[in-house]
Structure 1
């Protein structure tokens, strides 16, 4: 019996010794890690503030639950800083960092193109990609409406790698009309820059219908879908028409974000004068005016501006083959009834947005 008690005591001492040695090893490894990080920082000459942003802040944001229950003041302090101000010294700053061997990393976006469908969002994104300080996800990620439960870490992996001073951007037009999205975006970043591309709601609805019709052989006429049972009553439950009531969607967003964080881009002006609209976006994002007339040419066949070169191609080209497709014939009386329907909503939208888009 005494022998068994002695064996237990020896076993306990051995376990305690093993735990003590393991703790010493972990502390030692941490010291080595800290030393290696300091050496790396000295080699790349990156400001400590930026390094903290990339390592500490980013991981803490991703660990926050995407359910909106975190204290808003606390979550705001964990958000990435707006680093667009580092561009004041010119584009060469982050190019120099790249030459020094600093590897790009994936960051959560600080700017979103949130809408609207068939308003010109794809064109705007392609134009903005000409700017070396903007890096954008290539396809619509649909994080805030379809994949929110997958968390911020999943979202960040869908973003392109960026260097310090570059802006990460994403475009998903359905964000503007999805009721849950504003609260979710604010939870991730209360300082998010929000860009909304809008277009005459009647023309937009016809364009939306045309896109769907091109994929379906048997499709009812536009007029049959736009009005209830052949009457003059507009079917506002039909999504192509529901999207165009912009004021209702904007009112919901303004419950979470101030108007100063929005930029409204005219889809019509983006076609007629792309440089002016893109310049407004560059100013809104705090970037130098790099994109200018030399980047565009007008394609008379398609009827909209095309690019002399882009991020992916160095030769002149237009957007996808589906852009600029012809609209089907719509009864002019039906078009007029829709314009009459949208008029009061458009006026309220102009007042909220502080901008007259001229849809009459």
Structure 2
């Protein structure tokens, strides 16, 4: 009896061992299949990430020539370098040992050409800060033909209206520039904005500032003429310019008058910038001698004098100089229809009263900047 019981137990144990072994084998096989499939899928996913479409069309063409495509790590590093660090950082990386190793030196050097061709977005080195109706658009258009200058065509109004958007937003507006180029923007309202000097100095205390000034009486009439073209129902120039004309009381709260009190605004700027960081362009000489004025602007910016007499001709219809026809265009480059408007006729007695009003402000301005603009 005991023998039968032991024999039955042995058969049960053998069957259990067999079933357990088969189950374990099946389980191992399933896990092996799943593991291998996951590895394959992971590798496929990694391959898919190795060569993502470049955000930069020009960069895509150049990077597409790399043998067998760069790895994800290298591609990400190259894209980041091209957009943010520029060619100098890449040169340093190519010399120093790192995770890329010498194998990727050629790829990094190729990316240097991307940075050199397209450049990086940088905060401005120089600003045209004023003044309205002084000739700032002309200076901007003239200096933009210099190969070492890249300028924003529109007025961003960052330091007066959009400062809360932050410097990253401001930088994003700028054109791409190479290390050898100057980034420039123009917003003439900066000169009369009290917070602008402090904010610009906060960005960079070494920023170069260009101020285009003009006879304040002529400037005020030009300012009024522009406003009148948009709002035909505004009061007359005389009504806006004077609190009491018979007593000669000028209304300095009117912006068209206040802008021309240059010395008051300049004193605010000199709290944050040295006078040597500011260059004053004569709006009158910009018309009579554009090459001479632009020569001095180029000197101030540390540029070679490339813009010369050969670039200008005088447009008698508009009454100011224009750029001669570029090789890439069939038309000369002149400022738009909004420039060169015929000024509103103002009574000579009114003009003389304003000349007397501005005289002490002008004299102090001349003495401060060391330049006589001969507005009297």
Choose the corresponding residue for 2:149, options 134, 141, 165: 134
Choose the corresponding residue for 1:147, options 129, 151, 162: 162
d(CA) in 1 for partners of 2:226, 2:368: 30
What does the per-residue CA deviation read over 1:200-223, in whole Å, with 9 as the maximum and x for residues that have no partner? 000000000000001112121111
Deviation at 1:46, TM superposition (A): 3.8
d(CA) in 1 for partners of 2:349, 2:291: 35
d(CA) in 2 for partners of 1:276, 1:175: 25
d(CA) in 2 for partners of 1:50, 1:193: 29
The unaligned stretches of length 5 or more in structure 2 are 1-71, 94-111
* 1:261 matched to 2:277: yes
Q: Is the 8 A contact 2:221 2:343 kept in 1?
A: yes
Query: TM-score scaled by structure 1?
Result: 0.73
Deviation at 1:229, TM superposition (A): 4.3
Deviation at 1:100, TM superposition (A): 8.5
d(CA) in 2 for partners of 1:131, 1:312: 15
**1:272 matched to which residue of 2?**
288
d(CA) in 1 for partners of 2:284, 2:149: 23
Q: Is the 8 A contact 1:116 1:176 kept in 2?
A: yes
d(CA) in 2 for partners of 1:302, 1:327: 12
* 1:238 matched to 2:254: yes
Q: Is the 8 A contact 2:242 2:250 kept in 1?
A: yes
d(CA) in 2 for partners of 1:100, 1:182: 32
d(CA) in 1 for partners of 2:77, 2:236: 67
* 1:193 matched to 2:208: yes
**2:64 matched to which residue of 1?**
none
Q: Is the 8 A contact 1:114 1:176 kept in 2?
A: yes
Q: Is the 8 A contact 1:129 1:310 kept in 2?
A: no
Alpha carbons of structure 1 residues 225 and 36: separation in structure 2 relative to 1, 3 Å: closer
Deviation at 1:47, TM superposition (A): 3.6
Choose the corresponding residue for 1:322, options 338, 353, 368: 338
- Report which structure shows greater RCO (CA 8 Å, sep ≥6): 1
Superposition CA RMSD, Å: 2.7
Partner SS, residue 214 of structure 1:
helix
Query: TM-score scaled by structure 2?
Result: 0.70
What does the per-residue CA deviation read over 1:49-86, in whole Å, with 9 as the maximum and x for residues that have no partner? 9889xxxxxxxxxxxxxxxxxxxxxxxxxxxxxxxxxx
d(CA) in 1 for partners of 2:189, 2:145: 24
Q: Is the 8 A contact 2:150 2:177 kept in 1?
A: yes
The unaligned stretches of length 5 or more in structure 1 are 1-30, 53-96
d(CA) in 1 for partners of 2:116, 2:311: 30
Alpha carbons of structure 1 residues 223 and 313: separation in structure 2 relative to 1, 3 Å: farther
Deviation at 1:120, TM superposition (A): 0.1
